[in-house]
């Protein structure tokens, strides 16, 4: 009996002398954990792709030890509305996003997606990229699949049933839900009842609805009512994409907008929103003409006075005349020796006739509205950007939040800003075990200096990299160090949580 006790005692002493071991330890970080709570200092232990411990690891051992040197450690930022998938297999390091601290991107936005999603997921598994990727099913994509090129009409009940079948196929394979782009072809021609019928398919799957609503300017209030009604009728969570008030006569009405959204939530509608930190958007010239009346000079004049200005429109893409790219509409009008209104109509008609490509960047929002919408408790940050686009949001959105809205304007505290880029984003999309520094969560992490982190992307240099980020980890693997991409591809496919 005495011998047994002695053996147990020796074993206990031996165990106590052993140091706890982790594959990676990040020591001495200032933790902003994503919840919005105050910062604190701690070490983080990581095993495989998971955060295993947060606290004092001074007596632990790590196969790899990273000295945080008092820098800030936060969860990886989550881009809830991204178009960076365009070219992602050619740019697998995804430096446009990792250099911003982004570790997860959500694609299939504005009604556009690959179909079927299963094919995309299969390719991402065989050819992973540096980031995690989740996707919605695009309404415009499945509408075009069913209606073909003669889509400028209301769908028949039979066609709606076919679209529901295609949506169901994607949901069975892990789609996050349905996205709509109701300012774009062919979704602009859909009847609201069509969208509601499709949204009803989401409920049994606990999937979600995200929408570029029918209007962000002339008909904003009816468009906001539509997404609220979809949420009310289907009991499905609904998210307002890149929330904005994009017309001069709407400026200053953010309080009214937020009051309406709060009322919807009080009535049981699970309404959330995302927003990017710029007063200008990027889209097609066509969205300036919701009636598709491209030859209506009055409509063109309204667009160039109420929605934007000739000097505020920058040509982002024009395949038929590449020399127009990066010039303002005012400059192109001078080159063509025509009025800005006529130039806008001519460019659209030229693209339509020759089946070309075009896009514009247009100044259209007010900074005060952006700050108020951004501060709404249920809004999160997104980029709405792309790898090759000329809008600086593709390379600068997330660092700009800290540089501009935290440090310079004091519109958000650091903890609130990180919360909106991490935990709030994960909650708005129902992403499990992402968006917090917490044991059991995936080790998507960003180490940065909040005093110097900055975006550098501008109109003139839209692809300039951000600075101030020391380290980015995705699922426990380093993908960016000292501002430079590392050729590791640990990104996972994020299927809808069940």
pLDDT tens per residue across span 295-325: 999 999 999 999 999 999 999 999 999 999 9
pLDDT attached to residue 84: 98
| Tally of CA atoms within 13 A in the half-sphere of 98 that contains its CB | 32
**pLDDT in the model for residue 224:** 98
Question: Could you tell me where the beta strands, DSSP code E, fall in 346-401?
Answer: 358-363, 379-381
Buried/exposed 450-459: b ≥16 CB within 10 Å, e otherwise: beebbbbbee
Residue 285 above 50 pLDDT? yes
Share of the chain above pLDDT 70, in %: 96
Residue 4 in this model has a pLDDT that exceeds 60: no
Residue-wise pLDDT for 173-209, tens only, equals 999 999 999 999 999 999 999 999 999 999 999 999 9
Residue whose C-alpha is closest to residue 84's, from 478, 398, 405: 398
Task: Work out the pLDDT band at 219, boundaries 50, 70, 90.
Answer: very high
- What is the rounded average pLDDT of the residues 477-494? 97
Cα 59 vs. chain centroid, distance in angstroms?
Answer: 40
User: CA distances (Å), 456 to each of 210, 395, 460, in order?
Assistant: 30, 8, 10
Residue 13 has pLDDT above 80, yes or no: no
Task: For CATH 3.20.20.140, list the domain ranges present in the chain.
Answer: 75-279+371-433
Q: Retrieve residue 397's tokens.
A: 């959105």
pLDDT band at 12 (very low <50, low <70, confident <90, very high): very low
Report the C-alpha gap between 416 and 413 in whole angstroms. 5
pLDDT score, position 57: 97
pLDDT, residue 2, reads 40
pLDDT in tens, 227-258: 999 999 999 999 999 999 999 999 999 999 99
Q: What is the pLDDT of residue 19?
A: 78
As a whole number of angstroms, the distance between CA 310 and CA 466 comes to: 30
Six-digit token pair at 227?
A: 């997404």
CA angle 466, 491, 90 (to 5 degrees): 70
Output the pLDDT for position 18. Answer: 59
Per-residue model confidence (pLDDT) at position 432: 97
- pLDDT grade for 10, boundaries at 50, 70 and 90: very low
d(CA 300, CA 284): 14
Name residue, tokens 């200092």.
41
Tell me: the pLDDT tens digits for 360-419? 999 999 999 999 999 999 999 999 999 998 999 999 999 999 999 999 999 999 999 999
Regarding predicted confidence, which is higher, 117 or 497?
117
Q: Is the pLDDT of residue 498 over 90?
A: no
Helix, strand, coil percent content, the chain, rounded in steps of 5: 35, 20, 40
The per-residue pLDDT for range 56-82, each reduced to its tens digit, is 999 999 999 999 999 999 999 999 999
User: Is the pLDDT score of 7 beyond 60?
Assistant: no
Residue 26: exposed, middle, or buried by beta-carbon count in 10 A (0-12, 13-18, 19+)? buried
The pair of three-digit structure tokens given for residue 186, joined into one six-digit string: 């062919």
Asked whether 279 and 364 are in contact (CB, 8 A), the reply is yes
pLDDT exceeds 70 at position 290: yes
| Amino acid 351: pLDDT | 95
The residue to which tokens 């074993």 are assigned = 11
Please report the pLDDT score of residue 8 as a whole number.
37
Residue 217 CA to residue 220 CA, distance in Å, equals 5
Residue 362's Cβ-count burial label (10 Å; 0-12, 13-18, 19+) is buried
Please confirm whether the linkage preceding 116 is cis (ω < 30° from 0).
yes
Task: Kindly give the residue spans of alpha helices, DSSP state H, lying in 33-116.
Answer: 95-98
**What is the predicted pLDDT for the residue at 145?**
97
Residues 6+ apart with CB under 8 A from 430: 176, 206, 208, 237, 496, 497
Task: Residue 415: name the closest of 401, 428, 427, 426 by CA.
Answer: 401
Over range 260-265, report the average pLDDT: 98
Place of tokens 């010239």: 285
pLDDT at 14: 35
Query: pLDDT confidence of 9, banded at 50, 70, 90?
Result: very low
| Structure-token match 């919360």, residue found | 419
Mean pLDDT of 42-47: 98
DSSP reduced 3-state for 267: coil
Q: What is the mean pLDDT of residues 121-144?
A: 98
Residue 469 pLDDT > 80, yes or no? yes
Q: Which residues touch 394 (CB under 8 Å, ≥6 apart)?
A: 83, 84, 96, 383, 385, 386, 387, 388, 457, 462, 463
With bands split at pLDDT 50, 70 and 90, how would you rate the model's confidence at 459? confident
Sign for the CA dihedral angle at 288, 291, 296, 301 comes to negative
Question: Over 90: is that where the pLDDT of 3 sits?
Answer: no
Cα 476 to the center of its chain, rounded Å: 22
**75-279+371-433, which class in CATH?**
alpha beta
Residue partners of 185: CB distance under 8 A and separation at least 6: 140, 151, 152, 286
């Amino acid at each position: 009996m005495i011998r047994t006790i002695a053996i147990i005692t020796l074993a206990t002493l031996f165990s106590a002398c052993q140091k706890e071991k982790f594959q990676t330890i990040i020591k001495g970080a200032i933790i902003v954990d994503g919840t919005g709570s105050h910062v604190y200092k701690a070490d983080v232990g990581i095993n495989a792709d998971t955060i295993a411990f947060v606290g004092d690891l001074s007596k632990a051992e790590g196969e790899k030890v990273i000295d945080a040197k008092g820098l800030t450690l936060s969860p990886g930022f989550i881009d809830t509305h991204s178009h960076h998938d365009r070219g992602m297999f050619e740019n697998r390091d995804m430096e446009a996003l990792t250099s911003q601290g982004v570790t997860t991107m959500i694609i299939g936005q504005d009604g556009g997606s690959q179909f079927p999603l299963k094919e995309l997921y299969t390719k991402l598994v065989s050819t992973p990229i540096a980031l995690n990727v989740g996707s919605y099913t695009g309404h415009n994509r499945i509408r075009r699949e069913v209606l073909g090129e003669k889509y400028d009409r209301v769908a028949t009940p039979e066609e709606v049933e076919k679209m529901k079948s295609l949506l169901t196929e994607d949901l069975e394979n892990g789609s996050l839900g349905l996205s709509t782009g109701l300012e774009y072809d062919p979704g602009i021609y859909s009847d609201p009842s069509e969208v509601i019928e499709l949204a009803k398919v989401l409920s049994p799957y606990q999937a979600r609805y995200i929408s570029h609503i029918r209007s962000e300017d002339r008909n904003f209030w009816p468009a906001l009512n539509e997404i609220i009604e979809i949420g009310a009728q289907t009991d499905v969570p609904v998210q307002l994409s890149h929330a904005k008030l994009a017309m001069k006569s709407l400026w200053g009405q953010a309080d009214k907008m937020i009051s309406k959204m709060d009322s919807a939530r009080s009535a049981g509608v699970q309404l959330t929103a995302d927003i990017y930190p710029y007063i200008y958007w990027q889209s097609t010239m066509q969205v300036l003409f919701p009636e598709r009346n491209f030859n209506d000079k009055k409509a063109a004049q309204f667009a160039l006075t109420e929605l934007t200005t000739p000097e505020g429109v920058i040509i982002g893409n024009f395949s038929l005349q590449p020399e127009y790219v990066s010039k303002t509409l005012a400059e192109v009008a001078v080159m063509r020796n025509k009025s800005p209104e006529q130039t806008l109509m001519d460019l659209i008609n030229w693209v339509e006739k020759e089946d070309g490509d075009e896009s514009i960047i247009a100044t259209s929002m007010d900074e005060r509205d952006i700050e108020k919408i951004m501060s709404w408790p249920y809004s999160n940050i997104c980029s709405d950007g792309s790898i090759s686009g000329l809008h600086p949001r593709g390379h600068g959105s997330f660092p700009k939040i800290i540089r501009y809205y935290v440090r310079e304007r004091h519109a958000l505290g650091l903890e609130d800003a990180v919360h909106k880029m991490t935990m709030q984003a994960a909650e708005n999309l129902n992403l499990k075990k992402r968006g917090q520094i917490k044991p059991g969560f995936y080790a998507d992490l960003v180490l940065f200096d909040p005093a110097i982190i900055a975006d550098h992307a501008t109109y003139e240099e839209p692809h300039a990299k951000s600075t101030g980020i020391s380290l980015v980890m995705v699922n426990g693997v380093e993908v960016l160090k000292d501002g430079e991409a590392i050729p590791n591809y640990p990104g996972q496919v994020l299927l809808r949580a069940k």
